[in-house]
């Protein structure tokens, strides 16, 4: 049964990419809905399988680890696959209604969308270093394609800047892979970890890890290297920016986290961990401050992504040199943060899209009076904002709570400041938008009312992010399932 699921998971996105390439936008829309349903079912099935009897290794092409490529299907990976399924389905559904079918170039939206989805799945499940590189490339190029789709000069400039940053990041990562392959002779992550735990470790190799983390940080837009993200996510179409902010950025972080959890213990150092954590902290403060000052609504949400990404990098200091229990708690916290941020950010971008479409301008102060005539989208924007702020009962709060506990237990109390200040600052820019919409100067309803279903999707995502707070326990239970290597072929 698991084989069928795995094959389905790998096959469907690529097959649908090709299928949608051959048809135009309208027919592509119908095909995509079908594909989304299949993908959702497969992801759920896989999640259930892993939830019942633990993670397993999936050998592609039947070849054993060092020679062939293996896919590591453990709790964490499956949780991310399911998350991708949910968010991508929502964004796809929203895009199918939001995008104007008559434009000629929109026919190419669906193939790129499916390739992106395939790339994401490849990265979540990847167990082989070089395979991860190719997956990353797949995602980057698809994302750049989506950003540049039908765009004007600004969109293209953002796309190029994004492409350059992504490529440089990938190459840095590839350089690291080359060094590790040179040292260990194997490309499989599990193999390298086993070797590291058993044999003595040459000191020099930490440079390779630093390189890889640097590359991945550049692709995740960590603080000093976040220049490319706001224009790219800000200018792209709303469903695209939702996809980018919620999932694409997380892919490179996911790889960095896996590397850190497996190789960090031996190759990393306390100074490196604290440096990355510090960069994360600055990102939270600086991102929120810039988000507060943006004039355009989508730029606000984009900079908020930069800030929220800062939280993720707190994982590094909190899992280095601490007891397993604390490290597990930190991992759970970060997983929750990733999931709730993905859901909330997607909801925020989609509802921002709705608001912009109805108001006719993407400036924040043009939102006056929306609260009276278009409360539903605004309400989902608010709910998503609440989750970003990490206020109860949302998932953001559960994540923040776990991170607070982990940083307290590990004695690194200075992360408390970052966590709390981040919450407050994000409250600042969310409520600034809210305040702008509450101004009630016009009685006439001159707003364009988007179709009902466009407004429902962000609300569903926001409610999921809200519900996550209450349902944190089962989600986390699967994530931290012990990984039994080698079961199943």
Partner 1 sequence: MTLSTLMPVFALLTSLLASVVIFALPERGYRLRTVINLAAAGLKIVLVGVMIWGVAQGREYEFAFNMVPSAEFVLRADALSMLFAGLSALLWLLTTIYAVGYLEDSPNRSRFFGFFSLCVASTMGIALAGNLFTFFLFYEMLTLSTYPLVVHRGTPKALRAGRNYLVYTLTGGAVLLLAIAWLHGLVGDLRFQEGGHFAGVDPSLHGPLTIIFVLLITGLGVKAALVPLHGWLPQAMVAPAPVSALLHAVAVVKAGAFGIIRVVFEVYGLEAAEAMGLLTGLALVAAFTIIYGSTRALYQIDLKRRLAFSTISQVAYIVLGLCLFGPLGVTGGLVHLVHQGIMKITLFFCAGNYAETLGVHRIDELDGAGKRMPGTSVAFTLGAFGMIGAPPLAGFITKWTMGSGALAVGMDWVVAVLVLSSLLNAAYFLPIVHRLWFAEQHQAWPHERRWGRLETSAWLLWPPLITAVLMVLAGILANVPFSPLSWVELIVAREAAL
Partner 2 sequence: MMRFLGVAIMVAICLAFAGGLALTVWQIAGTPAPVNLPHLLAENLDASGVDHPITAVLLNFRSYDTLLEIGVLVIAGIAGISMAKTTSLEDPDLRTSDSLLYALQRWFVPLMLVLAGYLLWAGSDRPGGAFQAGAVLAASGVMMRLGGIPMDFLRPGMLLRFGLALGFSVFLLVAVASALAGSAFLAYPEAFAKPLILIIEVVLTFSIAMVLLALFVSAPVNRTEEPEEGEAG
Partner 3 sequence: MTPSLLYAFAGVALCSIGLFGFVRIRHLLRKLMAFNLIGSGVFLLMVGLAQRGGQPDPVPQALVLTGIVVAIAATALAVVLIRRYYHLSGQTTLAEPRAKRAKPPAPTANREGSPE
- Residue that has been written with the tokens 């190789």 in this structure: 263
- What does the buried/exposed string (b/e) look like for 414-448 if buried means 16 or more CB atoms within 10 Å of the residue's CB? ebeebbeebbebbbebbebbbebbeeeeeeeeebe
Which residues from 402-421 bind partner 3, rule CB under 8 A? none
Give 429's contacts (C-beta < 8 A, 6+ positions apart): 288, 291, 292, 294, 300, 304
Give 406's contacts (C-beta < 8 A, 6+ positions apart): 318, 322, 326, 327, 329, 330, 333
The yes or no reply on residue 185 touching partner 1 (CB under 8 A) is no
Question: Which C-beta is closer to partner 3: that of 132 or that of 347?
Answer: 132
Separation of alpha carbons 95 and 93, rounded Å: 5
Draw the binding track, 182-201, toward partner 3 (x: CB under 8 A; -: no contact). x--x-x--------------
Give 344's contacts (C-beta < 8 A, 6+ positions apart): 384, 385, 387, 388, 394, 395, 396, 461, 462, 465
Q: How far is the CB of 398 from partner 1 (least distance, A)?
A: 5
- Find which of partner 1, partner 3, partner 2, none residue 362 binds, CB within 5 to 8 Å per kind: partner 2
Q: How far is the CB of 286 from partner 2 (least distance, A)?
A: 22
The yes or no reply on residue 488 touching partner 1 (CB under 8 A) is no
Give 145's contacts (C-beta < 8 A, 6+ positions apart): 108, 112
| Angstrom distances, CA of residue 396 to CA of 94, 115, 216, 229, 340 | 24, 29, 24, 22, 6
Q: How far is the CB of 320 from partner 2 (least distance, A)?
A: 21
Give 228's contacts (C-beta < 8 A, 6+ positions apart): 158, 161, 162, 164, 165, 221
The yes or no reply on residue 383 touching partner 3 (CB under 8 A) is no
Residue 445 phi/psi, 5-degree rounding, is -100, 85
- Find which of partner 1, partner 2, partner 3, none residue 161 binds, CB within 5 to 8 Å per kind: partner 3
The yes or no reply on residue 11 touching partner 2 (CB under 8 A) is yes
Question: Which C-beta is closer to partner 1: that of 164 or that of 470?
Answer: 470
Out of 115, 133, 184, 401, the residue judged to bind partner 1 by CB under 8 A: 401
Separation of alpha carbons 415 and 311, rounded Å: 10
Q: Which of 53-61, 330-338, 447-455, 459-467 is the region at the interface with partner 2 (rule: CB under 8 A)?
A: 53-61
Separation of alpha carbons 289 and 477, rounded Å: 35
The yes or no reply on residue 179 touching partner 3 (CB under 8 A) is yes
Q: Which of 12-20, 144-152, 331-339, 387-395 is the region at the interface with partner 3 (rule: CB under 8 A)?
A: 144-152
Out of 52, 62, 102, 152, the residue judged to bind partner 3 by CB under 8 A: 152
Question: Which C-beta is closer to partner 2: that of 206 or that of 405?
Answer: 206
Question: Which C-beta is closer to partner 2: that of 27 or that of 393?
Answer: 27
Q: Kindly calculate the radius of gyration of the chain based on its CA atoms and give it in whole angstroms.
A: 21
Which residues from 340-399 bind partner 1, rule CB under 8 A? 371-372, 375, 379, 386, 389, 391-393, 397-398
Question: Which C-beta is closer to partner 3: that of 52 or that of 152?
Answer: 152
Which residues from 324-363 bind partner 2, rule CB under 8 A? 353, 356-357, 360-362
Q: Exposed (0-12), middle (13-18) or buried (19+): which is 181, by Cβ within 10 Å?
A: middle
Which residues from 148-207 bind partner 2, rule CB under 8 A? 148-152, 154-155, 175, 179, 182-186, 191, 195, 199, 202-205, 207
The yes or no reply on residue 224 touching partner 1 (CB under 8 A) is no
Q: Exposed (0-12), middle (13-18) or buried (19+): which is 198, by Cβ within 10 Å?
A: exposed
Q: Which of 57-65, 163-171, 468-476, 478-486 is the region at the interface with partner 3 (rule: CB under 8 A)?
A: 163-171
Which residues from 291-330 bind partner 1, rule CB under 8 A? 329
Helix pair angle (109-125, 25-53), 10° resolution: 10
Question: Which C-beta is closer to partner 3: that of 91 or that of 141?
Answer: 141
126: left (phi over 0), alpha (psi -120 to 50) or beta: beta
Q: Which of 33-41, 63-71, 255-263, 432-440 is the region at the interface with partner 1 (rule: CB under 8 A)?
A: 432-440
Residue 220 phi/psi, 5-degree rounding, is -90, 5
Residues near partner 3, by CB under 8 A: 130, 133-134, 137, 140-141, 144-145, 148, 152-153, 156-157, 159-161, 163-164, 167-168, 171, 174-175, 177-179, 181-182, 185, 187
Residues near partner 1, by CB under 8 A: 329, 332, 371-372, 375, 379, 386, 389, 391-393, 397-398, 400-402, 404-405, 408-409, 416, 420-421, 423-424, 427, 431, 434-435, 438-440, 469-470, 472-473, 476
């Amino acid at each position: 049964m698991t084989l069928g699921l795995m094959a389905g998971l790998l096959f469907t996105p690529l097959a649908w990419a090709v299928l949608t390439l051959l048809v135009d936008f309208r027919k592509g829309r119908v095909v995509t809905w079908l594909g989304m349903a299949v993908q959702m079912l497969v992801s759920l099935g896989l999640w259930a399988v892993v939830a019942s009897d633990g993670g397993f290794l999936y050998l592609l092409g039947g070849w054993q680890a060092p020679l062939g490529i293996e896919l590591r299907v453990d709790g964490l990976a499956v949780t991310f696959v399911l998350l991708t399924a949910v968010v991508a389905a929502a964004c796809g559904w929203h895009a199918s209604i939001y995008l104007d079918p008559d434009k000629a170039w929109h026919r190419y939206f669906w193939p790129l969308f499916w390739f992106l989805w395939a790339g994401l799945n490849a990265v979540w499940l990847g167990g082989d270093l070089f395979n991860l590189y190719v997956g990353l490339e797949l995602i980057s190029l698809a994302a750049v394609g989506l950003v540049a789709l039908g765009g004007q000069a600004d969109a293209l400039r953002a796309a190029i800047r994004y492409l350059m940053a992504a490529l440089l990041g990938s190459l840095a990562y590839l350089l690291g892979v080359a060094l590790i392959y040179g040292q260990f002779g194997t490309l499989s992550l599990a193999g390298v970890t086993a070797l590291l735990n058993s044999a003595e470790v040459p000191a020099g190799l930490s440079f390779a890890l630093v390189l890889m983390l640097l590359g991945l940080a550049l692709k995740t837009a960590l603080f000093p290297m976040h220049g490319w993200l706001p224009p790219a996510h800000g200018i792209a179409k709303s469903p695209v920016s939702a996809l980018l902010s919620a999932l694409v950025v997380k892919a490179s972080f996911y790889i960095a986290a896996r590397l850190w959890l497996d190789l960090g213990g031996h190759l990393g150092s306390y100074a490196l961990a604290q440096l990355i954590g510090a960069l994360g902290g600055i990102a939270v403060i600086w991102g929120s401050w810039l988000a507060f000052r943006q004039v355009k609504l989508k730029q606000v949400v984009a900079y908020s992504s930069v800030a929220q990404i800062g939280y993720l990098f707190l994982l590094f200091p909190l899992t280095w040199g601490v007891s397993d229990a604390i490290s597990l708690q930190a991992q759970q916290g970060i997983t929750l943060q990733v999931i709730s941020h993905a859901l909330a950010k997607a909801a925020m971008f989609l509802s921002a899209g709705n608001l912009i479409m109805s108001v006719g301008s993407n400036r924040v102060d043009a939102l006056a009076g929306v609260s009276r005539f278009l409360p539903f989208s605004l309400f989902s924007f608010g709910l998503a904002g609440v989750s970003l702020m990490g206020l109860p009962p949302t998932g953001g709060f559960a994540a923040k709570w776990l991170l607070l506990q982990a940083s307290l237990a590990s004695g690194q109390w200075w992360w408390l400041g970052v966590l709390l200040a981040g919450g407050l600052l994000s409250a600042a820019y969310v409520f600034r938008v809210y305040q702008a919409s509450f101004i009630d100067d016009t009685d006439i309803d001159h707003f364009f009312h988007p179709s009902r279903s466009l407004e429902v999707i962000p609300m569903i995502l926001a409610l999921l992010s809200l519900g996550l707070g209450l349902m944190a326990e089962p989600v986390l239970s699967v994530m931290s399932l012990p990984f039994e290597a080698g079961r199943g072929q």
